[in-house]
């Protein structure tokens, strides 16, 4: 898919957001996409109803609202999550830049809808940011983008935590650095990819970690 095509998906979603009842626009989406959009509508309706009820009860300023909402929205949230995950897994499985452009669009929709309650999506955001840096990096060519080697959300989160754990072991001297060097070399992860994770993760001494890895990788 070209950049123009990507804009089309973006445009279609914006069109739909302006009028969610517009059947003509809905028909431009695939069935799985329509399911996501329909669930999103339902989610918004439920959320608005709960907010109204809390306001009527005079509880709009209560911090415990978030938990009351979570309790009532759990079912629809889980449904939405499942549909989003399926869509993103399908796109990731293509291993193509164009598919990641679509992932960015779908993620934006999720974020704008303020229903990003799931930790997987926080990590997806980190990897999307890395993807943007990778495609803008003069050293990375399309076929070598590290992000494209991730084929589903499970793999994405596993790799993210694996890298964080290995980097942290370097920071605390928990074990020799060989394992992470082997891992990065074997997976052919780029400097941008590793740096993006180190920056995002709870690693105190980022400079030390990156310096240690740089001394042995990407030579």
Residues that bind another protein (CB under 8 A): 62-64, 67-68, 70-71, 74, 116-120, 122, 158, 161-162, 164-165, 168-169, 172, 174-175, 202, 204-205
As a whole number of angstroms, the distance between CA 150 and CA 155 comes to: 6
| Chain centroid to CA 145 | 17
The least distance separating another protein from the CB of residue 125, rounded to whole angstroms, comes to 10
Least distance CB 214 / another protein (angstroms)? 20
Nearer Cβ to another protein (34/206): 206
For the CB of residue 106, give the shortest distance to another protein in the complex, in Å.
18
Please, are residues 128 and 106 in contact by the beta-carbon 8 Å criterion?
A: no
Which one, 6 or 127, has the nearer CB to another protein?
127
Give the count of beta carbons closer than 10 Å to the beta carbon of residue 136: 9
Pull the structure tokens for residue 82.
């499942």
CB of 3 to another protein, least distance (A): 31
103 vs 167 by CB, closer to another protein: 167
Q: Which residues contact 146 (CB under 8 A, 6 or more apart)?
A: 130, 134, 187, 188, 189, 190, 192, 193
Task: Give the integer Cα–Cα distance in Å for 147 and 100.
Answer: 9
Residue closer to another protein (CB basis): 97 or 130: 130
| Shortest spacing between CB 149 and another protein, in angstroms | 18
Dist. CA 149–CA 41, nearest whole Å = 33
Nearer to another protein, 56 or 61 (CB): 61
Nearest-angstrom CA–CA distance, 147 and 94: 12
Minimum gap (Å) between residue 121 Cβ and another protein: 9
Rg of the chain over CA atoms, in angstroms?
20
Residue 168 token pair: 């942290």
The residue (of 36 and 123) whose beta carbon lies closer to another protein is: 123
């Amino acid at each position: 898919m070209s950049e123009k095509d990507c804009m089309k998906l973006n445009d279609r979603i914006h069109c739909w957001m302006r009028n969610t009842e517009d059947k003509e626009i809905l028909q431009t989406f695939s069935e799985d996409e329509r399911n996501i959009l329909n669930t999103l509508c339902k989610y918004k309706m439920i959320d608005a109803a709960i907010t109204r009820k809390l306001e009527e009860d005079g509880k709009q300023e209560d911090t415990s609202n978030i938990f009351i909402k979570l309790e009532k929205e759990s079912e629809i949230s889980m449904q939405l999550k499942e549909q989003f995950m399926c869509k993103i897994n399908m796109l990731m499985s293509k291993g193509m830049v164009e598919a990641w452009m679509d992932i960015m669009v779908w993620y934006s929709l999720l974020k704008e809808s303020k229903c990003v309650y799931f930790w997987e999506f926080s990590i997806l955001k980190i990897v999307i940011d890395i993807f943007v840096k990778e495609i803008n990096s003069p050293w990375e060519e399309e076929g070598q983008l590290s992000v494209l080697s991730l084929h589903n959300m499970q793999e994405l989160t596993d790799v993210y935590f694996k890298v964080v754990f290995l980097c942290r072991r370097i920071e605390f001297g928990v074990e020799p650095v060989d394992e992470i060097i082997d891992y990065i070399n074997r997976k052919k992860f780029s400097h941008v990819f590793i740096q993006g994770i180190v920056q995002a993760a709870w690693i105190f001494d980022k400079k030390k970690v990156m310096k240690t890895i740089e001394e042995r990788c990407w030579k």
